[in-house]
A and B are shown apart, each in its own frame.
Chain A
């Protein structure tokens, strides 16, 4: 079945440093979504990428979707303590009816 792999599992950074998490799928995706989960909270939608090679920005966050639609990345510039949490990618298989599969997430901690 479809698998979505995410690396790294953990990332510890000093406030102000950059952060990147990577997502790779075993199959071609129709789209990819990114979510953030604060400690003790629930996942909250950040963005969706649909087109091959797409790049989207949200303030300090940059999201990319690979040309082959099998990988994606989230980059945070100049991290802040408010960025703390776990970032998940989620892929919707191109052939599925709605089977949204999540990666295991990257847990980000930011040292002030």
Chain B
């Protein structure tokens, strides 16, 4: 039972570099989310998707882009990394609707130097 898998688990980037974080779920969930977690700030929603081919902005979308070309995958892109994007990134998925729990991946620890 893989659940929600995030790739990579750790990454160090230089300022200005780009990268893509991959989230894959094998539960046939409709909804997928990207959060960032910083000390004392809890989980902040970056972008989310309510189905294949759809995306929407969350609380803190600036500096990030996402794509949901396939139902099982949700990609988070950083076009030009900044030190302020140093964080732990969590992907989550759910069946959607108003009674669905979210299943989280193990997280990606990203450091931008």
Contact = CB atoms under 8 A, between A and B. Distances in A.
Interface of A: 1, 6, 9, 30-31, 33, 35, 42-45, 48, 50, 88, 90, 92, 97-105
Interface stretch (B13-21, B42-50, B73-81): B42-50
A46 to B, nearest CB: 9
Contacts of A42: 90, 104-107
Given A98-B31, A99-B58, A31 B101 contact: no
B99 A97 contact: no
A45 to B, nearest CB: 4
B102 interface: yes
Nearest to A42: B104
Interface of B: 31, 33, 35, 40-45, 48, 50, 56, 58-59, 90, 92, 94, 96, 98-99, 101-107
Contacts of A104: 40-42
6 contacts: A9-B40, A33-B101, A45-B101, A45-B103, A90-B43, A104-B41
Contact of A33 (B31, B40, B102, B105): B102
Nearest to A40: B107
Given A43-B104, A98-B50, A50 B98 contact: yes
A50 B99 contact: yes
A102 B99 CA distance: 16
A19 to B, nearest CB: 18
A97 B50 contact: yes
Given A1-B59, A42-B90, A99 B48 contact: yes
B42 A100 contact: no
Contacts of B33: 100
A1 to B, nearest CB: 7
